[in-house]
Chain A
Amino acid sequence: MAIKRPKGSFLEKNLHIIFPLPAVVFVIVMMLFPVLYTLFLSFTNWNLTSGMPLSIVFLKSYQKVLREPRFIAALGRTFSFTALAVAVETILGMIVALILNREFRGKGFTKLIMLLPLVSTPVAIGIVFNLFYDPTIGLANFVLTRFGLPRQAWTGSAATVIPSLAIVDIWQWTPMIALILLSGLASLSSEPYESARVDGASEWQIFWRITLPMVTPTLLTALILRTIDALKTFDIIYAMTGGGPGYASETLNVMAFKYSFEYFRMGQASVILVFLFMLVLFMSLLIVRMRKSLEL
């Protein structure tokens, strides 16, 4: 049945434009504009400490920043933090999901508890973990010494700061991976399992040959989400160490923050952000492609 439209009504004629308009405007104003403006700034030498108006220098800021040892170190740290955190989260998340996929009493309650880290505020988590990690009065060293283990400097030493921060990330985000995987596991059909058991396969073989391949698409989805997020981690690092000691926990995002709001080198900070944006985009595309090739 054709809908009759009253002639001459602007609204009626253009409904197909007007209804999606708020969303389109939102995306342009809140997402596209900042990205494009950052890109523009990255070609300038805008620097507030000089008191000079900005001028366009094209790729000069890129040449300067991308060659700095501090930038390269931060890039490496961004990767090592992400790799460490996401790898442990995936393995732990898988184990937790496998456990939760069985029937037991209090399963619903356990799942509820697992949601708590996800809904906590990152800065609050950072402050609590800082107290926990304090080498002198913190709980972490108290527990270690109770078990006769040596005290650790945790975030107080360049050698242990990245793993210490990764632990916080793992604490917060393992439940998310577990819950995603759990939904993947729950949707698997039971037939392959039954036939495998009839054929006398061991539990390990079942996991390795049946569960893992079947859950891989879900696993990769979780991996994409976490990798993108971990590459961009800012809140807990800024709240806990501010990138220290020295620059020992400075990732690209933290470095960009310092460049913009502590050094006021807006142009160069934009270079770092454009680079990080490209990096995240590239990593996401890579994982998406990997996922597609696995599904073929």
Chain B
Amino acid sequence: MKSKLMLVILVVLTVLSVGAQQKEIRVLLANHPYGDLLKAAIPEYEKATGVKVNVESLQESQLTTKLTTEFATRSSTVDVFMTRPLQEAKMFYKNGWYEPLTDYDFSDYPKNALDVATFGNKAYLVPLVTEWEVLYYRVDLFKKAGLSVPTNFTELEMAAKKLNSADIAGFASRGKGAAAVTQLSSYVYNYGGTYLDKGKAVFNSKEALDAIRFYGKMLANYGPAGITNMSWENIMPLFQAGKVAMWTDASVFYGQIVDPTKSQIPAENVGIANFPAGPKGNTPYIVVSWGMAIAKQSKNKALAADFIKWATSKELAKRGMLANITMARNSAWKDSEVRAKIHPGLIATQEYAAKNGIPYDRPYMSAVGEARDLIGEVIIESINTGGSSAKLESLARDKVAAVNSLLEDTGEYGVY
């Protein structure tokens, strides 16, 4: 009886060890154009290295959920994953879920992109994709109305008013509370405000509230119906169906807007311009929206490090650029083949934002999910009242207090 048991154990162990000898890593990607590009390219990597890459693709918030549950329960077998620096890096770093990247060459990345990748003096993630806020507009409608592209908020409002009709919304931007926070940020910056200053919430300043009121007025008067439940995934189909004349959102959507299989608007009728200036100048956000990291719990760190070098390489960055994905590497933007192919509006707005932009589009804190919902309440109140709400100040004051107490709970209050 006993010897039989021993035999079974021996067989199981042999099978397991043979299995371990076949090199494998597990990679979690986002449903993002770059994630798709990687997924398609991974067979090349497998062929070249003999390492089997097990890929899973998830929608961005589900990716966070999956990573969080796996890491928090210490049962993870994830080796490499895509990560959103501004949304989750602080929390992931605090919980010790990132492996420091000690021998990665970061010389090809802009400094402000590395800011969000570094904690203490170590880098924990490789910046992949950057995005900045731009103004998408319909070239044909502007021509017909005899308008020039707005360069400031006053012109933006005048253009929206003129282009707005029963059939076409003059202007659109995200209205769905938490989702709107990132796109509102450039408005807040251009009015001279910000979300967090020196580790304290300050979005109830006069400047920030002026921006929130302007945003609410624009969306209430010229935005599509039901805007308070709309994020980019609801606005994009409207733009593609020709129902929106101007749209402020992240640069990353250009490729999809002009995709002839999805859009009814020919590419030549879609313009990209710099985000309009506000009373206090023009400093739109430019952020690292996606990065890639190695899991601290990974048991295949050498393989993971090799994979991440390949997945964030110059060659793949160039391929990303040619697929209209705005990559973080400096060299990707200097490549002549890329510059010849990519929309000049993207190049021009990237250059402007890289020079003048702010590397945050949301309050940079661990409890950012909840903070976005709290700021979202102020945004929705402003949209619902066309920017004229009498209680906006007191509402914003309450929410600032709530965000500050979140900062206190996580030990980040006054820390910067």
30 A-B pairs in the complex with CB atoms less than 8 angstroms apart: A49-B91, A50-B366, A50-B410, A50-B411, A134-B237, A136-B169, A136-B224, A136-B225, A136-B243, A151-B225, A155-B229, A156-B227, A156-B229, A156-B230, A157-B228, A158-B228, A244-B228, A245-B176, A245-B380, A246-B376, A246-B380, A258-B369, A261-B61, A261-B64, A262-B61, A262-B369, A262-B370, A262-B373, A263-B369, A263-B370
A51 to B61, CA, bound (A): 20
Closest Cβ of chain A to B377, distance in Å, is 6
Closest B-chain residue to A246, C-beta based?
B380
Query: A265 to chain B: which residues have CB within 8 Å?
Result: 370
Closest B-chain residue to A138, C-beta based?
B226
Report whether B228 and A51 are in contact in the complex, using a CB–CB cutoff of 8 Å: no
Closest Cβ of chain B to A165, distance in Å, is 11
Closest B-chain residue to A262, C-beta based?
B369
Say yes or no: is B105 at the interface (Cβ < 8 Å to chain A). no
A244 to B409, CA, bound (A): 26
A156 to B65, CA, bound (A): 26
In chain B, residues 96-152, which have Cβ atoms closer than 8 Å to a Cβ of chain A? 96
Asked, given contacts A48-B95, A136-B224, whether A241 binds B229 with beta carbons under 8 Å apart, the answer is yes
Query: A157 to chain B: which residues have CB within 8 Å?
Result: 226, 228-229
Query: A47 to chain B: which residues have CB within 8 Å?
Result: 409
Report whether A51 and B243 are in contact in the complex, using a CB–CB cutoff of 8 Å: no
Q: How large is the interface on B (under 10, 10 to 19, 20 to 34, 35 or more residues)?
A: 35 or more
Report whether B226 and A48 are in contact in the complex, using a CB–CB cutoff of 8 Å: no
Say yes or no: is B238 at the interface (Cβ < 8 Å to chain A). yes
Query: B96 to chain A: which residues have CB within 8 Å?
Result: 51
Closest B-chain residue to A157, C-beta based?
B226
Say yes or no: is B54 at the interface (Cβ < 8 Å to chain A). no
In chain A, residues 240-256, which have Cβ atoms closer than 8 Å to a Cβ of chain B? 241-242, 244-247
Residue in A134, A242, A258 whose CB lies within 8 Å of B226: A134
A266 to B229, CA, bound (A): 26
Q: Count A-B pairs with CB separation below 8 Å.
A: 96
Say yes or no: is A280 at the interface (Cβ < 8 Å to chain B). no
Say yes or no: is B37 at the interface (Cβ < 8 Å to chain A). no
Say yes or no: is A161 at the interface (Cβ < 8 Å to chain B). yes
Closest Cβ of chain B to A138, distance in Å, is 9
Closest Cβ of chain A to B53, distance in Å, is 27
Query: B228 to chain A: which residues have CB within 8 Å?
Result: 156-158, 244-246
A266 to B73, CA, bound (A): 12
Say yes or no: is A153 at the interface (Cβ < 8 Å to chain B). yes
Say yes or no: is B262 at the interface (Cβ < 8 Å to chain A). no
Say yes or no: is B72 at the interface (Cβ < 8 Å to chain A). yes
Say yes or no: is A129 at the interface (Cβ < 8 Å to chain B). no
Report whether A51 and B370 are in contact in the complex, using a CB–CB cutoff of 8 Å: no
A262 to B406, CA, bound (A): 14
Query: A153 to chain B: which residues have CB within 8 Å?
Result: 225-226
Asked, given contacts A244-B229, A246-B376, whether A137 binds B237 with beta carbons under 8 Å apart, the answer is yes
Report whether B68 and A49 are in contact in the complex, using a CB–CB cutoff of 8 Å: no
Report whether B72 and A261 are in contact in the complex, using a CB–CB cutoff of 8 Å: no
In chain A, residues 55-72, which have Cβ atoms closer than 8 Å to a Cβ of chain B? none
Closest A-chain residue to B72, C-beta based?
A48
In chain B, residues 232-254, which have Cβ atoms closer than 8 Å to a Cβ of chain A? 234, 237-238, 241, 243
Residue in B175, B177, B229, B367 whose CB lies within 8 Å of A49: B367
A27-45 interface code vs B (CB 8 A; 1 in, 0 out): 0000000000000000000
A218-260 interface code vs B (CB 8 A; 1 in, 0 out): 0000000000000000000000011011110000000000100
Say yes or no: is A117 at the interface (Cβ < 8 Å to chain B). no
Closest B-chain residue to A263, C-beta based?
B370
Query: B226 to chain A: which residues have CB within 8 Å?
Result: 134-136, 153-157
Closest Cβ of chain B to A128, distance in Å, is 13
Given contacts A153-B225, A156-B229, A157-B228, 10 further A-B contacts (CB under 8 A): A48-B68, A49-B367, A49-B406, A134-B226, A137-B237, A155-B229, A156-B227, A157-B229, A244-B177, A258-B369
A134-163 interface code vs B (CB 8 A; 1 in, 0 out): 111100000000000001011111100100
Say yes or no: is B280 at the interface (Cβ < 8 Å to chain A). no
Query: B91 to chain A: which residues have CB within 8 Å?
Result: 48-49, 51, 264
Report whether A264 and B225 are in contact in the complex, using a CB–CB cutoff of 8 Å: no
Report whether A161 and B369 are in contact in the complex, using a CB–CB cutoff of 8 Å: no
Residue in B64, B234, B377, B409 whose CB lies within 8 Å of A246: B377
Report whether B65 and A261 are in contact in the complex, using a CB–CB cutoff of 8 Å: yes
Closest A-chain residue to B62, C-beta based?
A261
Say yes or no: is B391 at the interface (Cβ < 8 Å to chain A). no
Closest 6 pairs between A and B when the two form their complex, measured CB to CB: A156-B226, A51-B94, A135-B225, A245-B228, A262-B369, A49-B366
Report whether A134 and B366 are in contact in the complex, using a CB–CB cutoff of 8 Å: no
A281 to B14, CA, bound (A): 49
Query: B241 to chain A: which residues have CB within 8 Å?
Result: 137
Report whether A51 and B224 are in contact in the complex, using a CB–CB cutoff of 8 Å: no
